[in-house]
Chain A
Amino acid sequence: MNARSTSDPAAKRNRVIVERRSDRELVVTRTFNGPAGLVFDAWTKPELFRKWWVPQSMGMTLHSLEMDARTGGSYRLDFGDGMVFFGTYLEVTPPSRIVWTNDEGGQNSSVTTVTFEDRDGTTLLTMVEVYPSKEALDAAGTGAADATHETFGQLDDLLAQLNA
């Protein structure tokens, strides 16, 4: 193995791919240079999770974090000023799969599924967000590059109608 310092700026970062797989699905994929068990731990142990979920560039501070990463358990992230994210873990299967609800969205709430595939000591992570409707995902504005023009074109049409 090529042991590199974590602060080495020359260390190449694996690429994040964001794509819209269907009307209601948004998919994020990324490879990590470690076994699935370790990557899974970083998503399910609160003391590890809080170290990476709120990177400095977000400009936000996590005021409190409660997570019980077991099937049927719940989580709550409080950023203060009424900005709270919460939901339930529908499935937690170590070290391969986590499914949770994003209940702060009310009717437009999405369900997130993260899978961890071990590939000779590296991990392919796939995160799928499923929205209740095409409209909910369109509103999220997270279409892949090729879907962007279409999505925002539709919103532009709506805007034009409203202004007419």
Chain B
Amino acid sequence: MVQYRQGSLDAAFVALADSTRRGVLERLGRSEASITDLADGFHMTLTGMRKHVRVLECAGLVTTEKVGRVRNCRIGTRRLEEVAAWIQRYQELWDARFGALDDIVEDLKRQEQIDERTQH
């Protein structure tokens, strides 16, 4: 199972950061479906799809129910407004990434200056 750390990006964000899982959510928005239906629709193995559904379930975005031998999935109970906050986190993710990239650009600039000086 994927481990989530408190105080960082939450489970919903991690769940939505993956395009397959966003696709699954969009698919379930239209109608409920079994894991087998989803696996077929996304050209994935049952095991692979089960993992994706479990991540969405942990985030409260999807609920599942076992009926006989079939596990049915539907859109979860979590308020979608709550999920809207992920856009802000998406921005935060890029802000964090680019902050780290700033540091690397600074390092590379410094290295270039050193190289220039040693050449002269």
Contact = CB atoms under 8 A, between A and B. Distances in A.
Interface in A20-79: 28, 30, 32-34, 38-39, 41-42, 48, 51-53, 55-60
A108 B20 contact: yes
Interface string B2-29: 1111001100001010111011011001
Nearest to B48: A82
A152 B84 contact: yes
Contacts of B96: 55-58
B19 A140 contact: yes
Contacts of B30: 158
Contact residues on A (Cβ < 8 Å of other chain), bracket: 35 or more
A59 B4 CA distance: 7
Contacts, number: 153
Contacts of B48: 82
* A16, A48, A162 pick with most chain B CB within 10 angstroms: A16
B109 interface: yes
A13 B42 contact: no
B104 A48 contact: yes
A104 B4 CA distance: 21
A48 to B, nearest CB: 6
Grouping DSSP codes into helix (H, G, I), strand (E, B) and loop, the B interface class, with mixed when no group exceeds half, is: helix
Nearest to B10: A59
B101 A42 contact: yes
Contacts of B41: 107
B94 A155 contact: no
A55 B22 contact: no
Interface residues of B, number: 55
Given A6-B102, A16-B98, A106-B20, A141 B86 contact: yes
Interface of B: 1-5, 8-9, 14, 16, 18-20, 22-23, 25-26, 29-32, 41-44, 48, 51, 74-75, 80-81, 83-84, 86-87, 90-109, 112
A18 B19 contact: no
A105 B42 CA distance: 8
Contacts of A55: 93, 96-97, 99-100
* A51, A55, A110, A158 pick with most chain B CB within 10 angstroms: A55
B93 A41 contact: no
Contacts of B104: 42, 48, 51-52
A83 interface: yes
Contacts of B18: 83, 104-105
Contact of A28 (B32, B44, B94): B94
A162 B81 CA distance: 17
A42 B44 CA distance: 33
